[in-house]
Amino acid sequence: MSFPEPARSYGAPGVEFMGLHRENNAVTQIHLLPGQCQLVTLLDDNSLHLWSLKVKGGASELQEDESFTLRGPPGAAPSATQITVVLPHSLCKLLYLGTESGNVFVVQLPAFRALEDRTISSDAVLQRLPEEARHRRVFEMVEALQEHPRDPNQILIGYSRGLVVIWDLQGSRVLYHFLSSQQLENIWWQRDGRLLVSCHSDGSYCQWPVSSDAQQPEPLRSLVPYGPFPCKAITKILWLTTRQGLPFTIFQGGMPRASYGDRHCISVIHDGQQTAFDFTSRVIDFTVLTEADPAAAFDDPYALVVLAEEELVVIDLQTAGWPPVQLPYLASLHCSAITCSHHVSNIPLKLWERIIAAGSQQNAHFSTMEWPIDGGTSLTPAPPQRDLLLTGHEDGTVRFWDASGVCLRLLYKLSTVRVFLTDTDPNENLSAQGEDEWPPLRKVGSFDPYSDDPRLGIQKIFLCKYSGYLAVAGTAGQVLVLELNDEAAEQAVEQVEADLLQDQEGYRWKGHERLAARSGPVRFEPGFQPFVLVQCQPPAVVTSLALHSEWRLVAFGTSHGFGLFDHQQRRQVFVKCTLHPSDQLALEGPLSRVKSLKKSLRQSFRRMRRSRVSSRKRRPAGTPGEVQEGSAKTERPGLQNMELAPVQRKIEARSAEDSFTGFVRTLYFADTYLRDSSRHCPSLWAGTNGGTIYAFSLRVPPAERRMDEPVRAEQAKEIQLMHRAPVVGILVLDGHSVPLPEPLEVAHDLSKSPDMQGSHQLLVVSEEQFKVFTLPKVSAKLKLKLTALEGSRVRRVSVAHFGSRRAEDYGEHHLAVLTNLGDIQVVSLPLLKPQVRYSCIRREDVSGIASCVFTKYGQGFYLISPSEFERFSLSTKWLVEPRCLVDSAETKNHRPGNGAGPKKVPSRARNSGTQSDGEEKQPGLVMERALLSDERVLKEIQSTLEGDRGSLNWHSHRAAMGRSLSNGGAE
């Protein structure tokens, strides 16, 4: 289960590149080559890869140039050439490679030519050491390689047993050596080259002066910052000078082993202040953004960039209190697991601004610092419209993301938790520690996978972009209706129970209890504020949700039935039980799945037993004495085969008695001809897992009497699809076969009024078939039997508007379909002709397929890992892709003062000389172990498309889509 590994680089917002390795190996290190627009990656198979950013057609692309695997002399142990450290030298395009054997190999770029005569073997170092330091044991693997900050002819080699030497490259001699008593973890060379700081496995760090006066056997200073009890190793340390005089000491790890050994901390010490930033996931690497000018006397650090396993965190080191910087990209989507998503295209500016305003009040604790990483220039034109992606999370929050452009940016976070009484009161938060707590831990980052109560999880979201009404529904049958309010407010939430079982008797819900709501007024911050809470009974997970903001109605469905709520009058209109009496599973709730687990266990045991029996039979069958047994076996050759095949599938038609047939999959509001062809009326449509469609005609009082008369509903139709596949989509087409507009769309002049002259049609999409029926008299008109023909099933379906690239005002509506095989198809409306099909998501990637959302304009998103959305486009017109430029070393010289002031230079001052040439590149990549070295993330990552087509081919691929689409008439 491994896939080609992408290497990604990020700069200024909108600047990003992705390159995909051909090999299926994890990336363990990434190094930028100073001033070359190139980077080198090290994979876990010990291969090195050279990538470069090449300008093509005005935009930069990341391409792999060369790859190389270091080989030792024949017969050498593999560890002899196992690379532990890579040092790109500032001169001559050389790479110094430290290995497990203690030897340092040298290769020349770009061809990875090994320069064997320059190898710095541990034997050579040993010979050149003074007598008293010559112990064989001081070597072992190379832990650190550094170039002298000012003199490219000196490099520092640190060996794991504690020996550090400064090596003169020209004279091939040891200039200085330092011997520590502790195992070496890493080393830092101060900007002026006069001081070394080494960190060690016992949690200590030592300062060593570099001076030719005398070889000092002892360090200047040795310190265990979190002593005196045993501490974990300090794995990396930075010692940064400032103009004010007092240095910044920043190190990773070193926490007291017994009490805080499990924390992932980076400590910052400066001017009497000390903070241990406490991350919720393992720290992979960190770096500090400093003064870039190599001639400058001081480092003057201004931002700490930390790559943790689950997120990127940037901390402002210039502002007092060291606040975090809000991320413009790479925000942790999965800070609590994503449970659902909802996309709203083309948000009106007014709503957009109000959401941003509400969000900005939540971000008060962030630093005001501009995003410090600003490499490259984004050439992507400004997005043509404002799109929102809403993600629902396990902890009961909904996050609003700006999905208009390349980067997902968090705008606003809504929490539904305050409506309910939960076990952990947010006021009892223990994170606020006293002043004199030691170590001075401070939680940073947003990744927090632990949910207080899984019932809070958000399952369905529906936002009306015109009215600002939002409906969210969750795991314990809760449905909240919220309204956007720019002011904080203290209000009581009206609570209503919807008994979906009604008079059905003898049922016992064995699942979770419903959530307990807070009584009395609750204070809500500016933003979306709930005013109605409907709780379904039994409190099964809400499986479908629809909001009609014009009629002020919200419809919700669970595995037991569905209901309609009037949120204007705050009154339940009706509930309908869809349960089949024999459906025990739905009745008992999620707990009863334990039973089926038991059953499957039993079955697998039986299978094991059977196969054991048959294998016992097989053995004597070969002996000549057992003729009878043998002949019996040849008569049934199938038995043996059957036992070997562990998987078999039952072929059986679906029946009304199947489980979860009553599960409401889709709800849809439409103003159409439900009863007769002379009068249209509001209607509510519901589709179930068992292929049943219910249609209710609604009577909504006119606006002036809206509060006086009740909304009435009456069941008008019930359609049973005989193939009984789950209904995943219901849609009404108007007289011109155009899907009916969204509520309020016409009122806001954003859509033509639907044609009410011609006859309407009903489109029902089940997992297996697409069917068009006439209205109001239901007769079958057209169908497309997808599953019978292809064996694929519909997982997601959505109407997409395909705009023409040539004619501004021309476009057509068609269906965008995602199947269980991960294919994306376009099916034409109204004739239901399949137009194009593309592989998009790996068919095994069930969570990726389940997470897919389509936009209204032929794009879509799906999760390629728990933390990353991939965006795809079926539209020739609407394409969102990064298009950016990074100046190469040559062009760089033309823009010395252009935007990139010395303070903003993101590259760390680890390289002297030509370092400024590299400043425009992506500092995230300076880190030695990138995000992608994380095993878990890696496993989830896959190529965007089938095979190993990288993002670079994506463009041409979409062009192909465009051509095919034009056959469908979308030009």
Partner 1 sequence: MNRSHRHGAGSGCLGTMEVKSKFGAEFRRFSLERSKPGKFEEFYGLLQHVHKIPNVDVLVGYADIHGDLLPINNDDNYHKAVSTANPLLRIFIQKKEEADYSAFGTDTLIKKKNVLTNVLRPDNHRKKPHIVISMPQDFRPVSSIIDVDILPETHRRVRLYKYGTEKPLGFYIRDGSSVRVTPHGLEKVPGIFISRLVPGGLAQSTGLLAVNDEVLEVNGIEVSGKSLDQVTDMMIANSRNLIITVRPANQRNNVVRNSRTSGSSGQSTDNSLLGSPQHIEPSCEPEDEDSDEDDIIIEDNGVPQQIPKAVPNTESLESLTQIELSFESGQNGFIPSNEVSLAPIASGSNTEFETHAPDQKLLEEDGTIITL
> How buried is residue 374: exposed, middle or buried, by Cβ count under 10 Å (0-12/13-18/19+)?
buried
**Footprint (CB under 8 A) of partner 1, residues 589-648:** 637-638, 641-642, 645, 647-648
725 binds partner 1 (CB under 8 A): yes
Question: Tokens 């490219």 appear where?
Answer: 152
Q: Does 792 contact partner 1 by CB under 8 A?
A: yes
Nearer to partner 1, 136 or 606 (CB): 606
As measured in angstroms, the least distance from the Cβ of 813 to partner 1 is 18
Nearer to partner 1, 194 or 783 (CB): 783
Distance of closest approach, residue 89 Cβ to partner 1, in angstroms: 52
Region class of 245: left (phi > 0), else alpha (psi between -120 and 50), else beta: left
The closest of 579, 580, 550 to 562, measured between CA atoms, is 579
Give kind and range of the element (H or E) at residue 958.
helix 951-967
Q: CA-to-CA distance for 47 and 375, rounded, in angstroms?
A: 27
Q: Is 246 in the site for partner 1 (CB under 8 A)?
A: no
In angstroms, the first-to-last Cα distance of the chain is: 41
Nearer to partner 1 among residue 784 and residue 852 (C-beta): 784
CB of 670 to partner 1, least distance (A): 17
Write phi, then psi, for 643 (nearest 5 degrees). Answer: -70, -30
List of residues 6+ apart from 184 with CB closer than 8 A: 143, 144, 158, 159, 160, 161, 162, 163, 164, 198, 199, 200, 201
649 binds partner 1 (CB under 8 A): yes
Applying CB under 8 A, what is the total number of residues that bind partner 1?
55
8-state DSSP, 775? S
For partner 1, the closer of residues 652 and 708 by Cβ is 652
Among positions 209, 590, 735, 834, the unique one binding partner 1 when judged by CB under 8 A: 834
Contact between 320 and partner 1 by CB under 8 A: the answer reads no
CB 317 within 8 A of CB 268: yes
Tokens of 22: 């051909």
Q: Residue 722, interface with partner 1 (CB under 8 A)?
A: yes
Nearest to partner 1 of 719, 900 (CB atom): 719
The answer to the question of residue 503 lying near partner 1 (CB under 8 A) is no
Question: Judged by CB under 8 A, does residue 71 bind partner 1?
Answer: no
Look up residue 659 and give its amino acid. S
- Residue 261 found at the interface with partner 1 (CB under 8 A): no
Single out the residue of 720, 753, 839, 967 in contact with partner 1 (rule: CB under 8 A): 720
817 binds partner 1 (CB under 8 A): no
Residue closer to partner 1 (CB basis): 793 or 903: 793
Among 399, 665, 717, 908, binds partner 1 (CB under 8 A): 717
Nearer to partner 1, 553 or 786 (CB): 786
Q: Least distance to partner 1 from the beta carbon of 766, Å?
A: 10
Site string for partner 1, 748-777 (x = CB under 8 A): --------------------xx-x-xx---
Q: Does 788 bind partner 1 (CB under 8 A)?
A: yes
Cα(881)–Cα(59) distance, rounded to whole angstroms?
A: 12
Q: Which stretch binds partner 1 (CB under 8 A): 589-597, 616-624, 649-657, 869-877?
A: 649-657
Binding residues for partner 1 restricted to 929-968, rule: CB under 8 A: none
**Among residues 508, 650, 705, 894, the one that binds partner 1 under rule CB under 8 A:** 650
Q: Does 821 bind partner 1 (CB under 8 A)?
A: yes
**Interaction of residue 849 with partner 1, rule CB under 8 A:** no
* Two structure tokens written together for 15: 């600047």
What are the two backbone dihedrals, phi and then psi, of residue 418, each rounded to the nearest 5 degrees?
A: -65, -20
Could you give the residue ranges of the DSSP H alpha helices within 653-694? none
Cα-Cα-Cα-Cα dihedral sign, residues 131, 133, 136, 139: negative
What contacts 703, CB < 8 A, 6 or more positions away? none
Sign of CA dihedral 515, 521, 523, 528: positive
- Asked if 783 interacts with partner 1 (CB under 8 A), we say yes
Nearer to partner 1, 262 or 503 (CB): 503
Instruction: Give the torsion through C-alpha atoms of 892, 896, 901, 905, to 10 deg.
Output: 30
Q: Is 723 a residue that touches partner 1 (CB under 8 A)?
A: yes
Task: Give the shortest CB-638-to-partner 1 separation in angstroms.
Answer: 4
Q: Sign of the C-alpha dihedral, residues 949, 951, 957, 958? A: positive
Backbone phi, psi, residue 943, to 5°: -70, 150
Instruction: Verify binding: residue 719, partner 1, rule CB under 8 A.
Output: yes
Q: Is 466 in the site for partner 1 (CB under 8 A)?
A: no
* Angle subtended at Cα 224 by Cα 288 and Cα 271, rounded to the nearest 5 degrees: 50
**732 vs 693: CA distance, rounded Å:** 13
- Taking the least distance from each CB to partner 1, the nearer of 212 and 779 is 779
Q: Which is nearer to partner 1, 441 or 784 (CB)?
A: 784
- Angle at the Cα of 192 (from 186 to 196), degrees rounded to 5? 30
How would you write 415-440 as a 3-class SS string? ECHHHECCCCCHHHCCCCCCCCCCCC
Does the footprint of partner 1 cover residue 259 (CB under 8 A)?
no
From the list 212, 427, 628, 779, which residue makes contact with partner 1 (rule: CB under 8 A)? 779
Compute how many other C-beta atoms are within 10 angstroms of the C-beta atom of residue 639. 15
| Contacting residue, 54, 118, 128, 833, with partner 1 by CB under 8 A | 833
Decide if residue 780 touches partner 1 (CB under 8 A): yes
Instruction: Please identify which residue in 67, 183, 568, 787 interacts with partner 1, judged by CB under 8 A.
Output: 787
Residues within window 668-697 making contact with partner 1, judged by CB under 8 A: 675
Euclidean distance between CA atoms 728 and 719, whole angstroms: 14
In the list 357, 585, 756, 778, the residue contacting partner 1 (rule: CB under 8 A) is 778
Closest to partner 1 by CB, 487 or 652: 652
Q: Is 721 in the site for partner 1 (CB under 8 A)?
A: yes
Q: Is 114 in the site for partner 1 (CB under 8 A)?
A: no
Tell me how far apart the alpha carbons of residues 654 and 661 are, in angstroms, rounded to a whole number: 10
Single out the segment in contact with partner 1 by CB under 8 A; choices: 24-32, 220-228, 248-256, 655-663: 655-663
CA–CA distances in Å: residue 868 to residues 199, 330, 333, 335, 865: 35, 8, 7, 11, 5
Alpha-carbon distance 262 to 255, whole Å? Answer: 9
Q: Which is closer to partner 1, CB of 395 or CB of 823?
A: 823
C-alpha span between 312 and 867 (Å, rounded): 12
Backbone angles phi, psi at 606, to 5 degrees: -60, -40
Q: What is the DSSP letter of 734?
A: -
Distance in Å, CB of 659 to partner 1, minimum: 15
Contact positions vs partner 1 (CB under 8 A): 637-638, 641-642, 645, 647-657, 675, 715-723, 725, 768-769, 771, 773-774, 778-793, 820-821, 831-834, 843
